[in-house]
């Protein structure tokens, strides 16, 4: 597995885990500056843990959709460049602001990822869009935010089957999402994120011209 610069496997007591350097955010284990990146709490962490080729080198400019209280996006900001964190629920954004306090490169935005025009004046073109919105219409959210990616950009998305249809077979949901996404993106790799996240699909994709 190739890890981005700034992400390492680190020993926490007897357990070795992915880790980044920064202030702790969600009660994760720490060792000096190192903080455990828990793949059970983070879909992007699970994608790295599963060995998916995310193309991340470290230092990228990132647009993160569905930042919640900052669990994953804080790790991203630890190894990334400027990191724009979009979240539309006011409650988690308060905690996200706390995570941003010690991270000069993390910019929380209380915005709706289905309305990219509302943050287009703030967000510069980015190298990577990370998406974890767990809402109906996840392929559409990715399509709407393609405008921020250059030709060499990457989409790293986690698709939650139950957010699209609670009753449908997850594999059927993933087939539909893959098909819809393929209109706007070339899919480079997809993989189920079990056992870390049940009925979630990780996707690495690049924008079609
Ligand atoms: N990515 C987070 C992490 O790993 O720390 C967890 C994200 S949680 C599964 C999904 C989040 O997406 C929720 O906080 C929810 O409020 C947010 N969300 C859902 N739809 C959204 C939208 N249209 N715009 C912005 N945020 C959205």
| Cα torsion angle, 38, 43, 49, 55, sign | negative
CB atoms within 10 A of CB 114: 15
**For residue 66, how far is its CA from the centre of ligand 1 (angstroms)?**
3
- Name the CATH topology of 39-207: Rossmann fold (3.40.50)
Residue 135 has pLDDT above 70, yes or no: yes
Cβ of residue 113 lying under 6 Å from some atom of ligand 1 = yes
**In whole angstroms, what is the distance from residue 10 CA to residue 128 CA?**
25
- Residue 30, beta-bridge partner list: 35
Of residues 174, 119, 131, 179, the one with CA closest to residue 155? 131
Sequence ranges of the domains in the chain? 39-207
**For residue 14, how far is its CA from the centre of ligand 1 (angstroms)?**
33
**In whole angstroms, what is the distance from residue 59 CA to residue 110 CA?**
24
CB atoms within 10 A of CB 52: 20
CB contact at 8 A, 193 and 209:
no
Residue 1 has pLDDT above 80, yes or no: no
pLDDT at 209: 84
**In whole angstroms, what is the distance from residue 18 CA to residue 168 CA?**
33
List Cα–Cα distances, 109 to 89, 97, 129, 132, 135, in angstroms: 10, 9, 15, 15, 18
**For residue 164, how far is its CA from the centre of ligand 1 (angstroms)?**
14
Global model pTM greater than 0.80: yes
pLDDT digit string, tens, across residues 99-134: 999 999 999 999 999 999 999 999 999 999 999 999
- Residue 128, beta-bridge partner list: 62, 154
Chain-centroid distance, C-alpha 81: 14
Of residues 50, 71, 38, 80, the one with CA closest to residue 190? 50
**For residue 159, how far is its CA from the centre of ligand 1 (angstroms)?**
11
Cβ of residue 30 lying under 6 Å from some atom of ligand 1 = no
Cβ of residue 38 lying under 6 Å from some atom of ligand 1 = no
Nearest residue (CA) to ligand 1, atom 6: 68
pLDDT digit string, tens, across residues 42-89: 999 999 999 999 999 999 999 999 999 999 999 999 999 999 999 999
Residue in this structure with the two tokens 């209280």, named with its chain if needed: 69
């Amino acid at each position: 597995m190739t890890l981005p610069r700034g992400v390492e496997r680190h020993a926490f007591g007897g357990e070795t885990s992915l880790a980044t350097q920064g202030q702790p955010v969600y009660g994760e284990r720490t060792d000096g500056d190192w903080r455990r990146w828990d793949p059970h709490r983070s879909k992007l962490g699970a994608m790295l843990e599963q060995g998916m080729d995310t193309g991340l080198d470290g230092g990228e400019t990132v647009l993160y959709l569905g930042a919640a209280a900052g669990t994953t996006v804080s790790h991203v900001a630890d190894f990334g460049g400027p990191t724009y964190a979009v979240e539309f629920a006011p409650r988690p954004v308060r905690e996200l602001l706390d995570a941003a306090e010690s991270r000069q490169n993390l910019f929380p935005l209380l915005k709706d990822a289905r309305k990219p025009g509302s943050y287009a004046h703030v967000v510069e073109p980015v190298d990577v869009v990370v998406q974890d919105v767990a809402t109906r219409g996840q392929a559409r959210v990715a399509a709407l935010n393609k405008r921020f990616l250059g030709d060499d950009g990457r989409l790293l998305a986690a698709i939650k089957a139950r957010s699209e249809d609670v009753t449908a077979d997850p594999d059927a949901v993933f087939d539909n999402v893959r098909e819809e996404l393929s209109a706007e993106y070339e899919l480079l790799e997809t993989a189920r994120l079990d056992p870390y996240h049940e009925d979630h699909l990780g996707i690495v994709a690049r924008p079609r011209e």
